[in-house]
Amino acid sequence: MNQKILIVIIAAIVLIAGSVVVIRNHKAAFASKDSEETNVPVNQLLAQASKYEEQGDKLKAKEAYDQIISNYPDYDKIEDVQDKLGKLNIELIFSPAQMPQTISYEIVPGDSLGKLARKYKTTPQLIKRANGLKSDVIRTGEKLRIWSAPFNVLVNKSQNVLFLKSGQEVLKIYHVSTGKDNITPVGSFKIASKIENPVWFRNGGPPIPSESPENELGSRWMGFDTDSHYGIHGTLHPESIGQQVTAGCVRMKNADVEELFDIIPGGTEVVIQN
């Protein structure tokens, strides 16, 4: 009798194990099928985006990338798509292309780049780059393309990434470094100061000029309003990007911080979260 019971138990275990294998195989098959079904429209959209970029139609290419990110967030190479879209968005921001976030402005007597930047809450650098200006000189009657929509910045410390946004739209994702031992402050801040090639006032030591190889601030500084010791800046150590190693600031590659510096004006909101 005991032997029969043992046989029944063993048979049941084998049956259950077989069922588990079947279920797993079915799940794997469904996952593979879902992945294949996702890849078909994504590949079509990627091909469209590539074609539009070759034709110079960056706005249509942007639409194709936007569709992938909105409709297929589980695509296994979604980060590559985000990188392509981020690069394209920056090209559009610095281009003369008219977009929903831009206006066409005719220069009148008394205008200057600084005055227009303050009026439309943008930067002189962005106006210059978008209009191909080689100097600060502007002439009455000329038309300028001006980005008038506000930007905002979100920093995620756990992922060490910085999101450049306009409204709710993520325009580009940058990799950054944040404070060691989680000391980068959390909260909402505003950009209160912007300095090109900043001098580093190191605690307990003499000021270190911008050209010095010991200057830890890199090529740009954007300080926060609530505490002037914290801000977003460049780096001498690009290999540290992606790690929590700073004294509390948000550190970017110099090329990235220079790009961001030209885009966001003083007063831009910066939200830092864990």
Tokens standing for 31? 């996952």
Q: Would you call 237 a catalytic residue per the annotation?
A: no
Catalytic residue among 26, 229, 237, 249: 249
Tokens describing residue 242: 């992606």
Question: For residue 178, how far is the Cα from the chain centroid?
Answer: 15
The pair of three-digit structure tokens given for residue 88, joined into one six-digit string: 């394209």
Cα–Cα nearest to 232, from 174, 149, 182 = 174
**Residue 186 DSSP class:** P
d(Cα 81, Cα 86) in Å, to the nearest integer? 8
Give the residue among 53, 274, 122, 94 at the shortest CA–CA distance from 184: 274
The token pair at 91 is 């090209």
Q: How far apart are CA 27 and CA 177, in angstroms?
A: 39
Look at residues 67, 242, 267, 71 and name the one whose alpha carbon lies nearest to residue 162. 242
- Among candidate residues 26, 175, 233, 237, the one labeled active-site is 233
Bridge partners (DSSP) of residue 246 are 179
Catalytic (active site) residue 249: yes
User: What tokens were used for 126?
Assistant: 């962005």
Task: Say if CB 252 and CB 241 are below 8 A apart.
Answer: yes
Given its phi and psi angles, is residue 187 left (phi above 0), alpha (psi -120 to 50 degrees) or beta? left
b/e map 248-269, b = 16+ CB within 10 Å: bbbbbbbebbbbbbbbbbbebe
Active site residues: 233, 249
